[in-house]
Amino acid sequence: MNKIKSAIASKNFLEQIILFIITGLTYLIFVSRFGYFYDDWYLMYAAGANGPSVFWDIFAIDRPLRAIVMIPTYSLFGANPLYYNLTAFFFRFMSGIGFLWILRLVWKDENRLTFFMTLLWVLYPGFLSQPNAIDYLCHITGLVAGMFSIGLTIKAVQSKKLQNKFTFYILSILLGWFYLGQIEWYIGLEFLRFGCLIILAFREDGKFWDKFILFFKTSLIPLVIPSMFLGWRLFYFESERGATDVDLQLGDVLSEPFVFVTKVFSTLWDDTLDVLIRAWITPLLRLKFGLSKTDWLLGLGIVLLIITLLWVAHKYISENKKNGRNQKWRWEVFLLGLGILIAGLMPVILVGRSVDFKSFSRYTLIASIGTALILPLIVSFISNLKLQDIIFSILIGIASLTHYANGFVKASETQSTQNFWWQVSWRIPQLGVGTTLITHYAVAAEEDYFTWGPANLIYHPESEHEKYVQPAIYALLLDENTIEKVFAREGQDYSERRSIRTYPNYRNILILTQPRPESCVQVIDLRQVELSSYEDERVKQIASYSEADQIELSDTFQTPPLIPFGIEPEHGWCYYYQKASYARQVGDWEQVSVLGDAVFNLELQAQDQIEWMPFIQAYAYSENISRLQEIASMMSKDKLAFQQACQILLTMQIESSIKSQADRLFCIQ
């Protein structure tokens, strides 16, 4: 007996090792290259400015228990995204261990399929926010707590000793309240808890009513978890955020019930297709455009390694038990899978949200458990085990390749963001307090803190107020609303997001733009507006309002902190362009010429021809016709840049002979 137990334990441990390695190969390839994404910017700025206790204020409006995770985590890791990503990976893996534990407690005979169910859930390709580990650490921590809470509930029900039951129930309840406190819409996970309990109850001998009574009895204690949480959430806690305010959301039901119900069922059907089927297709198709052939070959190599590992380790994975096998397991799996899929989506849909693989992939997290149950169930009807393995390999390969592509894209976004702000630091020594930035660059700024977060980390890392977080630099989104208010010359605005107060002003904007990824960051100055041929139309509309005077030229240059901006990039064309632009703004034309000569000596080229303007002006002042001729030949294909060069040169205070040469070189007749 001891030998048998030892063999089973050994196989279980080996399965966990395989799961760990495959999960690592899927999620850790680019982990050292991930920086800050989305909400990370204001979270890390606020904590750095006012200390980790600020998380109480930040999360008080909707999910106060998230502070329990973020405060100790920030105290341990500080602002370093690498440690958050490693922790998020480990917790994702541990959530898989918890899921496997639940499956094995309920379906003890289905070792092989429960392993693949676990693998498909941990690698599920529809959830793409794993690299956003700082903000999503609470989501993933909640998953771990939820899975182990459910497992402990089942252990309590199955345990014969009263002391063990008591211990398991207490731990289960505490973890249950904890995970629901992280993310309220995780409550759909409770279907997994009570679904497992009803499966276990209805396996017992006796009449239907006897089985139902048994289920009712075993559910009484765990019912404390969702009932007390809902009681607190609905009747005591007042959410200040619309998306999590239950009363606000339920107002739609009362005003137009038929329209609301129709919309709910339509969204549920569409989201079900997303979670069950499209997740294996859509994300990979969307992400494929960011990778070169070499990148794809590396990704396919990793997938091949994962599949090879699976096939080599296949004989060591616990096989299904043949004796005493519960033949009703397929119905159990199907009903539980379908139920958790619907239960995972409904809390999201009822508050007006839906699955979106670009921005809201997190809403697949709970529902994906249903996918991980249903797909292996369908495959199990194939009698040929080798064919089953091929199908599982394809699914796992798609999932791994999707996460590889997602990791590559996120690492590229990090690099683009870091390069942008390093260029800003080369160009701008200091920004005045109260400056309002508008940015346009490769990583779209969906919120104002995508801009003021990094800007303040470089130029004003301390809060302007002692009692609450108030950045020194503000930002506005580049959208139609901002454009209208800039045109109307509206003044200071006020915004408070999660206790962080900002005061953007539409009358003192400074535009930082990177028209395309190959361009350098360009500071728009209303005194001499220069616009790239690739410039966004929205930037063009408000370019004449951008005030470069908000740059404090007399200050020393600030060095972006290593975390999160990385090491300083190589000094290529953009470095010399930024330094030349700064020298031009302070009127040091001799320095611009020196930088221009360095550019020619290093054989550097502008990918955006408007960036030659500082050098053109400097060479015009120094009467260096040969350099002007060289630049003109390189700019010849960019008619808009030529036209602007012509206009600027003809208005400069230079010798008439130089103006004549400028007219010949740059003014197209």
Question: What is the structure's pLDDT at 250?
Answer: 55
C-alpha 447/C-alpha 411 separation (Å) is: 20
Is position 461 within any domain?
Answer: yes
DSSP-assigned letters across all residues of 464-529: S-SSSB--SSEEE-SSHHHHHHHHTT--B--EEETTEEE--BTTSEEEEE-SSTTSPPEE--TTS-
Strand partners, 551: 431
Is position 405 within any domain?
Answer: yes
* Last-in-domain residue among 553, 586, 617: 553
Is position 29 within any domain?
Answer: yes
* Last-in-domain residue among 378, 410, 442: 410
Same domain, yes or no, for 288 and 389? yes
Same domain, yes or no, for 311 and 345? yes
Strand 509-513 relative to strand 500-502, pairing: unpaired
**Chain Cα centroid distance, residue 74:** 18
Same domain, yes or no, for 441 and 533? yes
What are the tens digits of pLDDT across the range 271-284? 999 999 999 999 99
Is position 149 within any domain?
Answer: yes
Is position 40 within any domain?
Answer: yes
Same domain, yes or no, for 41 and 127? yes
How many structural domains comprise the chain?
3
Question: What is the structure's pLDDT at 657?
Answer: 82
Is position 340 within any domain?
Answer: yes
DSSP 438: E
Same domain, yes or no, for 50 and 185? yes
| Tokens coding 245 | 């305010």
Q: Which domain holds residue 497?
A: 430-553
Same domain, yes or no, for 75 and 19? yes
Same domain, yes or no, for 505 and 620? no
DSSP 440: E
Which residue bears the tokens 């917790």?
91
Is position 3 within any domain?
Answer: no
Question: What is the structure's pLDDT at 324?
Answer: 44
Same domain, yes or no, for 371 and 469? no
Same domain, yes or no, for 207 and 306? yes
In contact, 182 and 139? CB cutoff 8 Å: yes
Residues of the chain with pLDDT under 50: 1, 4, 242-243, 245, 323-324
Residue 322: in which H helix or E strand, if any? Answer: none
What is the rounded radius of gyration, in angstroms, for the C-alpha atoms of the chain? 30
Is position 129 within any domain?
Answer: yes
What are the tens digits of pLDDT across the range 315-374? 666 566 554 455 688 999 999 999 999 999 999 998 888 888 888 889 999 999 999 999
Residues with Cβ within 8 Å of 71's Cβ and at least 6 positions away in sequence, in order, are 52, 53, 55, 56
Same domain, yes or no, for 308 and 402? yes
Total residue length of the chain: 669
Same domain, yes or no, for 265 and 394? yes
* Last-in-domain residue among 410, 443, 474: 410
**Phi first, then psi: what are they for 57, rounded to 5°?**
-70, -40
DSSP H stretches of helix in 512-655: 537-542, 562-565, 573-585, 589-601, 613-621, 625-635, 639-651
Residues with Cβ within 8 Å of 635's Cβ and at least 6 positions away in sequence, in order, are 609, 612, 641, 642, 645, 666
Same domain, yes or no, for 374 and 461? no
Using a 10 angstrom Cβ sphere, with 0-12 exposed, 13-18 middle and 19 or more buried, the burial of residue 652 is: middle
